[in-house]
């Protein structure tokens, strides 16, 4: 990559953002209130544990971004990922700082909305850093069904609406859709954080969409991270649209049909149904065939299998990671 003064500003902004968030923590490195994380359990000191996680996250992002990119972009990507990781620890803990630092991310994206390569890596860093922080919830937050079905259906109808908005943004703004969707996601972070602990007639409608045992906004966060991963790694728009259809539409259809027709359970996962898996596969195959042709049927089948597996991780994350891996396998053999 040729030297550019823009990337010097990128580096300085990333460094300032990381230092400001880090300093704001002072002596506490808690993530998701005071829940213990599952990584590095043998490290008894919480500060050292978080420091170790930051180092590992930095190595992951550094390896991903080093090949074919300048040192400036690599270091900036590491700082952005670490900042996103620390930012997540403020969600539900310190509303004012979470909103402030998320706003700084928005300013950053606006500044680089026309810098395609920088924007792509910024999103990759934000999504991977945030996912790394979410492991505290994945492994320690005990999710239980609230015993109702209408909430799940309402949640999925809301998810379908969000999917329509995201895909419409890609079709209407083909040159700037990544930046626009990223800005919408970060604004969603701010909105979620603002109403996190509010209880009035307006906010109750959103709180009712969340499972009773979940931290408010958890589902929205994982959906947002999955969307950012797909947008930043699936670099061909037609594949991005297809994988987002899978993420928003197929996954929702699987839940809705699984609830309506729940008699036949999958033998290897009693929490999933045959009807839900078939609905997932059918929606992905129909829309995918129109976009990509016959290969979409095979991809939909693989992702339907991934969605049906008894993996202790949110479907939004497993599906987005699997989609990215499939995309790069296709690129290798294309």
Domain boundary among 141, 159, 179: 141
Sign of CA dihedral 85, 89, 94, 95: positive
**Do 37 and 134 share a domain, yes or no?**
yes
Is residue 34's pLDDT more than 70? Answer: no
Domain boundary among 141, 174, 200: 141
Between CA 46 and CA 60 the distance in angstroms is 21
Task: Tell me which DSSP letter residue 38 carries.
Answer: S
**Do 265 and 313 share a domain, yes or no?**
yes
**Do 306 and 268 share a domain, yes or no?**
yes
Residue 134: predicted pLDDT: 75
**Do 119 and 201 share a domain, yes or no?**
no
In the numeric block, which tokens belong to residue 332?
């290798």
Is residue 253's pLDDT more than 70? Answer: yes
**Do 136 and 147 share a domain, yes or no?**
no
Query: Which of the pair, 224 or 1, is modelled with greater confidence?
Result: 224
Closest Cα partner for 117 from 240, 6, 223? 6
Is residue 334's pLDDT more than 50? Answer: yes
Residue 41: predicted pLDDT: 57
Residue 46: predicted pLDDT: 67
Contact assessment for residue 71 and residue 6, using Cβ atoms and an 8 Å cutoff: no
**Do 205 and 172 share a domain, yes or no?**
yes
Is residue 35's pLDDT more than 50? Answer: no
Query: Which of the pair, 132 or 151, is modelled with greater confidence?
Result: 132
Residue 265, phi then psi, degrees to nearest 5: -90, 150
**Which neighbouring-strand residues pair with 266?**
269
Between CA 269 and CA 287 the distance in angstroms is 26
Is residue 295's pLDDT more than 50? Answer: yes
**Do 68 and 200 share a domain, yes or no?**
no
**Do 37 and 155 share a domain, yes or no?**
no
Q: Output the average pLDDT for the chain.
A: 84
Planar angle of CA 21, 7, 174, nearest 5 degrees: 95
Residue 212: predicted pLDDT: 59
pLDDT band at 144 (very low <50, low <70, confident <90, very high): very low
**Do 32 and 173 share a domain, yes or no?**
no
Residue 18: predicted pLDDT: 93
Domain boundary among 96, 114, 141: 141
pLDDT digits (tens, 9 = 90+) for 262-282: 778 888 888 889 999 999 999
Residue 25: predicted pLDDT: 74
Contact assessment for residue 210 and residue 217, using Cβ atoms and an 8 Å cutoff: yes
* First CA to last CA distance, the chain: 25
Is residue 208's pLDDT more than 70? Answer: yes
Q: For the chain, what's the residue count?
A: 334
Residue 109 domain boundaries: 1-141
Q: How many domains does the chain have?
A: 2
User: What element of type H or E holds 22?
Assistant: helix 5-25
**Do 112 and 165 share a domain, yes or no?**
no
**Do 194 and 45 share a domain, yes or no?**
no
Model's pTM, two decimal places?
0.88
**Do 127 and 157 share a domain, yes or no?**
no
């Amino acid at each position: 990559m040729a030297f550019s003064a823009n990337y010097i500003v990128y580096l300085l902004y990333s460094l300032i953002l990381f230092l400001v968030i880090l300093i704001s923590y002072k002596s506490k490195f808690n993530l998701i209130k005071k829940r213990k994380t599952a990584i590095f359990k043998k490290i008894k000191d919480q500060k050292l544990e978080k420091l170790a996680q930051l180092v590992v996250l930095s190595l992951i992002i550094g390896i991903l971004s080093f090949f074919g990119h300048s040192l400036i972009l690599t270091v900036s990507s590491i700082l952005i990922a670490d900042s996103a990781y620390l930012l997540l620890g403020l969600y539900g803990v310190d509303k004012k700082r979470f909103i402030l630092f998320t706003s700084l991310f928005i300013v950053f994206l606006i500044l680089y909305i026309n810098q395609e390569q920088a924007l792509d890596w910024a999103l990759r860093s934000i999504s991977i850093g945030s996912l790394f922080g979410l492991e505290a919830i994945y492994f320690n937050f005990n999710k239980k069904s609230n015993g109702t079905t209408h909430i799940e259906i309402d949640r999925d109808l809301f998810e379908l609406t969000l999917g329509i908005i995201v895909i419409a943004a890609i079709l209407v703004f083909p040159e700037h859709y990544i930046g626009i969707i990223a800005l919408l996601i970060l604004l969603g972070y701010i909105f979620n954080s603002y109403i996190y602990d509010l209880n009035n007639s307006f906010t109750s409608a959103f709180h009712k969409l969340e499972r009773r045992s979940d931290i408010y906004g958890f589902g929205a966060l994982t959906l947002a991270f999955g969307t950012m991963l797909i947008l930043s790694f699936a670099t061909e728009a037609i594949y991005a649209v297809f994988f987002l259809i899978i993420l928003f539409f197929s996954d929702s259809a699987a839940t809705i049909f699984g609830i309506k027709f729940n008699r036949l359970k999958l033998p290897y996962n009693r929490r999933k149904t045959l009807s839900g898996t078939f609905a997932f596969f059918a929606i992905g195959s129909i829309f995918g065939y129109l976009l990509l042709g016959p290969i979409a049927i095979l991809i939909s089948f693989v992702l339907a299998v991934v969605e049906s597996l008894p993996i202790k991780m949110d479907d939004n994350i497993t599906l987005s990671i699997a989609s990215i891996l499939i995309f790069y396998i296709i690129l290798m053999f294309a």
